[in-house]
């Protein structure tokens, strides 16, 4: 047979360096006839079969390294190959090079623009039927590669056998491989522009991974049937800022473990039983998960992700994770997910120099590298990179029903000079330090997530204006901003010996100067109980009783303060030791009354918070708050009012010295009887039991700029919350 390709092209094909295999493999025209060519380096012989399995002809060797060719019989459209191995075994298979592209023109157009909102349905690995044949379509963006192949156990991890088709307009490589399906492991093998073989790459869009050291992606198809339709129908594109929002922050690998089974993790399904029941019992409205996106290193806690579309294999499958979220929703608990679009690790199987170039990152380390973390920064100036990130966020919201995305390390995204010295960063086009491309990305992210009925939260520690203000008014568009200033100031105050607290009084009041500039969440997060910082209990001064009393009073202040609430796991029962991701929380501490008392207090605080609109309805407007006395330094007492939309109020009084103060007068906005709704010194919480009367009568005596007032005996180191007795 007269060859239709040159010897050099044939050698390139056999050697696995041909950049356009669909031009020479599969059915091809050769003059007036059709030929069929296949590359089967594992085969001793190859026969062509018709659709019924009858042998039509034997393909002849065209190159000694496994290229076979034959004239195609007339009128044959569907066919298969019968492969005879050198070992003597045989099997029949489809020819992937007879199938057309599985990507439509509209999809290719949107991918080229970087505006495909459901990009996760096109790129990656997807089980489909093409021309009536079941298999998996693989697609990956690698515009600067010379050749890209899918490798796996289905082709003996041989990159010559399933080289992909390039869509040159957008740099996407694609192939449909028949008979590959759920559970099959795969990677991508790439040659850079110069023909150099790169380290094997994991699929950026993989939905599931095997664990290290293999790190292969796994073809996955969901079979989960959601049962949370009522919950999903209640989601709104307009965030309900007037609702209670109390968050339990969790690292799934160390909440609890199974000591009798080699101290293994709980699975997603076990957590759906145990964790969800616990969160429900404790009265939280939401659970926030440290990143479950796939990550190579346990010690990163998920904050250096390598698979932004995959729940980590550590706790089960993607459908197991869906089951966990579903169970939360059925119990009335929202699910927030920490998400990391700021940076990614340098692991060679990940995004780093994916096609031999700085594809997802910047070439210049002054824009592309985080020296502090040893990671690489996403290039927000590339539409395809932004599409990858935005698609990930939408994937979690749409495919896993996540109710909110907490964006990590926002400050590092906003500033080009973040943690950099002069000469280590590049200014923007206006000469400033604002990362304009990242700002544009963040605004688009928030618009999309809100449109889908979920919320966004910013872990942002600077004075950047309008973080939680709408995009249309010039803000970044987040729903909430973590109040890092409140956290730092109040923890600093709480660590002071009570005898010195009057000199640090402003640390507890300063947060109200700016409390309504943003939609703030008050976070006592994992960041405050790691890296030598100790536990929250460990930050409290005094003897054992005083340390617990201080922590109880502090929690009372937190729940009375404007802003939504977040507490990291273990804080609700006063974990004594610093958190470690390598072991379970110290649940055995609950056998001790002081620890059990803290847990009972947090449970009751959540119950009071959810039942008392004045504590949550007007969190982000000054009309929901009024000081009674912010300046009683000598007594270290703070007192204020919180108001609901209907004007009904609660009184919060925090006393931060270890002595009782009998007959303490406080102004109230209404006459009649007031009751003690919660007292952190109550004996059932581990307090001394020296409590004010449970019902107090307001006198017609003006105080604290209020017409009425009442007196009560303030317990030592305690927060007392009063509500009208008829509430």
- The pLDDT value recorded for residue 30 is 85
pLDDT of residue 690: 78
Tell me if residue 343 falls in helix, strand or coil.
Answer: strand
Do the beta carbons of residue 489 and residue 504 sit within 8 Å? no
Domain 105-218 and domain 622-724 have a common topology:
yes
For residues 90 and 271, give the distance between their C-alpha atoms in angstroms, rounded to a whole number.
46
Q: State the catalytic residue, choosing from 174, 249, 408, 437.
A: 408
The stretch 333-343 carries a mean pLDDT of 97
Q: In this predicted structure, what is the pLDDT of residue 689?
A: 84
The strand pairing partners of 247, in sequence order, are 286, 566
What is the distance between the alpha carbons of residues 258 and 54, in angstroms, rounded to a whole number? 56
Encoding tokens for residue 715?
Answer: 């317990």
pLDDT for residue 398 is more than 80: yes
What does the pLDDT read at residue 4?
Answer: 74
Domain 622-724 listed as CATH 2.60.40.1180: yes
How does residue 2 score in pLDDT terms, banded at 50, 70 and 90? low
pLDDT digit string, tens, across residues 561-576 = 999 999 999 999 999 9
The answer to whether the CB of 637 falls within 8 A of the CB of 655 is yes
- pLDDT score of 371: 86
Give the mean pLDDT of 446-475.
96
Q: In this model, does residue 498 exceed pLDDT 70?
A: yes
- Tokens describing residue 454: 């979920």
- Band the pLDDT of 3: cuts 50, 70, 90: low
E strands, 179-266, where?
Answer: 185-191, 217-218, 246-250, 257-258, 264-265
Q: Is the pLDDT of residue 291 over 60?
A: yes
Residue 76 is predicted with a pLDDT of 85
**In whole numbers, what is the pLDDT of the chain averaged over residues?**
95
Percent of the chain with pLDDT over 70: 99
**pLDDT (mean) for 150-167:** 96
Supply the pLDDT for residue 5: 84
To the query of whether residue 273 is one of the catalytic residues in this protein, the response is no
Question: Which pLDDT tens digit goes with each residue over 622-666?
Answer: 999 999 999 999 999 999 999 999 999 999 999 999 999 999 999
d(CA 94, CA 157): 18
User: If you average pLDDT over residues 465-487, what whole number do you get?
Assistant: 97
Q: Is the pLDDT of residue 611 over 70?
A: yes
pLDDT band for position 123 (50/70/90)? Answer: very high
Could you say which of 249, 459, 619, 682 is catalytic?
459
**Confidence band, pLDDT 50/70/90 cuts, at residue 264:** very high
pLDDT of residue 693: 80
Long-range contacts of 439-443 (CB under 8 A, 24+ apart): 439/414, 439/476, 440/380, 441/341, 441/380, 441/386, 441/389, 441/390, 441/413, 442/407, 442/410, 442/413, 442/414, 442/476, 442/477, 442/478, 443/471, 443/476, 443/477
Coil vs helix vs strand at 455: strand
Q: Is the pLDDT of residue 550 over 80?
A: yes
pLDDT of 1 strictly over 80: no
Mean pLDDT of 10-33: 91
All structural domains of the chain with their residue ranges: 7-98, 105-218, 622-724
- The pLDDT tens digits for 362-395 are 999 999 899 889 999 999 999 999 999 999 999 9
Find the mean pLDDT for residues 332-345: 97
Tell me the mean pLDDT in the region 577-592.
Answer: 97
Q: State the virtual CA torsion across 431, 436, 438, 439 in degrees, nearest 10.
A: 130
pLDDT digits (tens, 9 = 90+) for 413-436: 999 999 999 999 999 999 999 999
Report the pLDDT value the prediction gives residue 75, as an integer from 0 to 100. 83
CATH architecture under which domain 7-98 falls = Sandwich (2.60)
pLDDT at 209: 97
Q: What is the mean pLDDT of residues 386-409?
A: 98
Q: What is the pLDDT of residue 31?
A: 82
At 689, list the tokens: 């039991």
**pLDDT at site 692:** 80
Residue 691 is predicted with a pLDDT of: 79
Q: Show Cβ contacts of residue 145 under 8 Å, excluding neighbours closer than 6 positions.
A: 173, 190, 191, 192, 193, 198, 355, 356
Q: Could you tell me which CATH number the domain at 105-218 has?
A: 2.60.40.10
Mean pLDDT of 453-457: 97
Tell me whether residue 408 is one of the annotated catalytic residues: yes
**pLDDT average, residue stretch 11-38:** 92
Residue 169 binned pLDDT confidence (cut-offs 50, 70, 90): confident
């Amino acid at each position: 047979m007269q060859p239709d390709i040159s010897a050099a092209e044939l050698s390139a094909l056999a050697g696995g360096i041909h950049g356009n295999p669909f031009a020479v493999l599969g059915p091809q025209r050769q003059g007036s006839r059709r030929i069929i060519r296949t590359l089967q380096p594992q085969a001793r012989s190859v026969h062509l079969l018709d659709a019924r399995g009858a042998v039509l002809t034997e393909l002849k060797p065209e190159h000694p390294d496994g290229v076979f060719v034959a004239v195609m019989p007339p009128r044959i459209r569907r066919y298969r190959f019968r492969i005879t191995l050198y070992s003597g075994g045989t099997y029949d298979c489809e020819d992937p090079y007879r199938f057309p592209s599985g990507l439509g023109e509209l999809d290719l157009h949107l991918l080229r623009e970087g505006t495909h909102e459901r990009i996760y349905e096109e790129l990656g690995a997807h089980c489909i039927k093409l021309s009536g044949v079941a298999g998996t379509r693989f697609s990956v963006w690698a515009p600067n590669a010379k050749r890209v192949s899918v490798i796996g156990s289905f082709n003996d991890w041989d990159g010559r056998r399933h080289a992909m088709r390039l869509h040159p307009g957008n740099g996407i490589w694609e192939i449909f491989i028949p008979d590959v399906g759920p559970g099959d492991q795969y990677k991508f093998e790439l040659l850079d522009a110069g023909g150099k073989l790169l380290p094997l790459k994991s699929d950026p869009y993989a939905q599931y991974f095997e664990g290290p050291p293999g790190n292969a992606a796994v073809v996955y198809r969901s079979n989960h049937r959601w049962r949370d339709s009522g919950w999903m129908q209640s989601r709104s594109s307009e965030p309900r800022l007037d609702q209670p929002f109390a968050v339990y922050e969790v690292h799934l690998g160390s909440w609890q473990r199974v000591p009798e089974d080699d101290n293994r993790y709980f699975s997603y399904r076990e957590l759906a039983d145990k964790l969800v029941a616990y969160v429900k019992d404790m009265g939280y409205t939401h659970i926030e998960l440290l990143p479950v996106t796939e990550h190579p290193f346990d010690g990163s806690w998920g904050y250096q992700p390598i698979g932004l579309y995959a729940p980590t294999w550590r706790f089960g499958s993607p459908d197991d994770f869906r089951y966990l979220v579903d169970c939360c929703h059925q119990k009335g608990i929202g699910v927030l997910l920490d998400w990391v679009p700021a940076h990614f690790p340098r692991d060679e199987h990940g995004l780093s120099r994916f096609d031999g170039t700085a594809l997802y990152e910047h070439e210049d380390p002054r824009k592309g590298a985080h020296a502090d973390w040893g990671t690489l920064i996403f290039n927000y100036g590339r539409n395809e990179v932004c599409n990858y990130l935005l698609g990930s966020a939408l994937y979690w919201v749409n495919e896993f029903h996540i109710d909110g995305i907490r964006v990590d390390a926002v400050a590092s995204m906003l500033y080009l000079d973040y943690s950099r010295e002069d000469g280590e960063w590049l200014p923007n086009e206006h000469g400033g330090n604002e990362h304009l491309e990242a700002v544009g990305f963040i605004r688009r992210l928030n618009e999309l997530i809100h449109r889908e009925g979920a919320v966004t939260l910013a872990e942002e520690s600077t004075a950047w204006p309008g973080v939680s203000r709408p995009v249309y008014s010039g803000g970044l568009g987040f729903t909430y901003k973590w109040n890092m200033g409140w956290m730092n100031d109040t923890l600093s105050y709480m660590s002071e010996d009570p005898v010195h607290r009057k000199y640090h009084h402003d640390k507890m009041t300063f947060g109200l100067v700016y409390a309504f500039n943003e939609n703030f969440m008050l976070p006592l997060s994992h960041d405050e109980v790691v890296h030598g910082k100790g536990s929250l209990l460990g930050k409290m001064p005094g003897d054992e009783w005083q340390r617990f009393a201080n922590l109880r009073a502090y929690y009372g202040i937190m729940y009375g303060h404007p802003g939504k609430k977040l507490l990291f796991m273990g804080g609700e029962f006063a974990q004594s030791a610093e958190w470690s991701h390598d072991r379970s929380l110290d649940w055995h501490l609950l056998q001790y009354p002081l620890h059990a008392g803290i847990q009972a207090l947090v449970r009751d605080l959540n119950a009071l918070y959810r039942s008392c609109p004045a504590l949550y309805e007007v969190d982000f407007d000054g009309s929901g708050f009024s000081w009674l006395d912010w300046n009683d330094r000598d007594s270290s007492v703070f007192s204020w009012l919180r108001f609901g939309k209907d004007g009904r109020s609660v009184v919060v009084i925090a006393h931060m010295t270890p002595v009782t103060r009998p007959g303490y007068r406080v102004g109230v906005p209404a006459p009649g009887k007031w009751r003690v709704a919660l007292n952190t010194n109550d004996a059932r919480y581990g307090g001394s039991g020296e409590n004010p009367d449970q019902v107090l009568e307001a006198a017609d005596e003006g105080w604290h700029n209020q017409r009425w007032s009442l007196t009560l005996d303030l317990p030592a180191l305690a927060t007392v919350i009063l509500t009208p007795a008829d509430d």
